[in-house]
Amino acid sequence: MMPGVGMKTLLIVFHSLTGGTQQMAEAAARGARSEAGVFVRLLTASEAGGDDVLAADGYIFATPENLAALAGRMKDFFDRAYYPALERINGRPYASLICAGSDGMNAARQIVRIATGWRLRAIAEPIIVCTHAQTPEAILRPKTIASVDLARCAEVGAAMATGLAAGIF
């Protein structure tokens, strides 16, 4: 599906190894798609690049926190997209979703620093879902994100889409 004439585009970029972050990104996409007038693109970090960033009007970045940092594939996405988009997306809105085993704060800080460099505008505080996975087995086990947390992700997606469609962002 392609965006209609005059439609805004929301790009949701995610990486997920155990499924938790993917569930969060998909919930945000469902929430965004519930609002009329916005075309939603859900891409993995490996698929997305600078052209995708330039073509979008707003962003949701979703990542696991690995070893107290952004996941490597999300960092790779930002590395590939950063300079092609620099000074070309100033003022656009963004939100972030973090799936973490403990606190998730460092991954959130890293996204804020990247978004600050791009001069993006946060529309919400980062949503951090803590899975409390602390052993190698728990960390690598497929994740199931609680419905209350998925609802928060959907709300961010809907808020972003509503703001884009209304021209608030």
User: For the domain bounded by 8-166, which CATH number is listed?
Assistant: 3.40.50.360
The CA-atom distances, in angstroms, between 80 and each of 59, 67, 124 are: 16, 21, 25
pTM: 0.96
At 141, phi and psi to the nearest 5? Answer: -70, 140
What was the pLDDT predicted at 6?
77
CA distance 84 to 25: 24
* Cα dihedral 70/71/74/79 (nearest 10): 70
User: Mind listing the pLDDT tens digit for each residue in 133-168?
Assistant: 999 999 899 999 999 999 999 999 999 999 999 999
> Smallest Cα–Cα separation from 85: which of 108, 111, 114?
114
Amino acid identity, position 141: R
- Intervals of the chain under pLDDT 50: none
Alpha-helical (H) ranges within the chain are 20-33, 50-55, 72-85, 105-118, 136-140, 147-166
What was the pLDDT predicted at 3?
66
What was the pLDDT predicted at 56?
98
